[in-house]
Amino acid sequence: MKKIFTIVILPVIIIILGFFIVKSLTAPLNFEKDRNFRQLLAIERLKDIRTLQTSYKTEFGKYAENFDTLENFYNNGYITIVRQIGSFDDSVAVAQGRVFRDSMEMAVKDTLLKYPGFNIDSLRWVPLVGEEFEMRAVVKKVSGVDVPLFEACSPFDVLLKGLNRQLIVNLNEERNITNRYPGIKVGSIDQPNNNAGNWE
């Protein structure tokens, strides 16, 4: 019996223990790799949301409150493009009336986010997860002035769904301790931040 234990069972136990040791050492590395990949995809989408929201505000003086409105703006909306002919620094051209500004209406979808692979129907979805980004828009009094604000975000619990649960909990706790949003976010409805992303 001792011989069987030494020849068969002990090596199996050693292999299993070795497997779990290697797994415990590589888990944080794999988690970071997966987290970085998902964050990069989400950041690109949040940048697209910011681009559309900024143009929407230019046209309507406020931000879109939901993705349906933003998608409709992309599919059916128009933005005003201002062109300048000549230079106002050229006093002779200005005096002769050869310098002027011209504005024209252009379809949003013919102007913005014209890169391969962009799909407006994917805009609201957190990549690889199948859940929507959270998006809010408000008008807030700042120093007595009404200021439109928006934010779009995804908490780590959604963004990293399916990855190591304990490592997600640790990441959330680290962000909470340092008083930072536990996830990926662009803009803020708490205070103006020039629509910056928390990755910038």
What SS3 string covers the chain?
A: CHHHHHHHHHHHHHHHHHHHHHHHHHHHHHHHHHHHHHHHHHHHHHHHHHHHHHHHHHHHCCCCCCHHHHHHHHHHCEEEEEEEECCCCCHHHHHCCCCEEEEEEEEHHHCCCCCCCCCHHHCCECCCCCCECEEEEEEEEECCEEEEEEEEEEEHHHHCCCCCHHHHHHHHHHHHHCCCCCEEEEECCCCCCCCCECCC
Q: Which of 38-47, 75-84, 127-136, 182-191 has the lowest mean pLDDT?
A: 75-84
Burial of 145 (0-12, 13-18, 19+ CB in 10 A): exposed
Burial of 46 (0-12, 13-18, 19+ CB in 10 A): buried
On the question of pLDDT at 176 being above 90, the answer is yes
Q: How far apart are the first and last CA of the chain?
A: 64
Mean confidence (pLDDT) of the chain? 86
On the question of pLDDT at 200 being above 80, the answer is yes
Write down the pLDDT at residue 82.
Answer: 74
Instruction: Convert the pLDDT of each residue in 154-164 to its tens digit.
Output: 999 999 999 99
Q: Are 57 and 194 in contact (CB under 8 A)?
A: no
Write down the pLDDT at residue 197.
Answer: 94
Rounded to an integer, the average pLDDT of 71-79 is: 93
Amino acid of residue 117: G
Rounded to an integer, the average pLDDT of 183-193 is: 94
The answer to pTM > 0.85 is no
CA distance 42 to 44: 5
Q: Domain residue spans in the chain? A: 37-76+113-187
Instruction: Convert the pLDDT of each residue in 5-50 to its tens digit.
Output: 566 665 666 666 655 665 665 678 899 999 999 999 999 999 999 9
Write down the pLDDT at residue 143.
Answer: 86
> How many residues would you count in the chain?
200
Enter the tokens of residue 178: 């340092």
Instruction: Convert the pLDDT of each residue in 93-109 to its tens digit.
Output: 666 666 667 777 888 99
Does residue 118 or residue 25 have the better pLDDT?
118
Write down the pLDDT at residue 133.
Answer: 97
Write down the pLDDT at residue 79.
Answer: 86
Rounded to an integer, the average pLDDT of 137-148 is: 90
Write down the pLDDT at residue 80.
Answer: 82
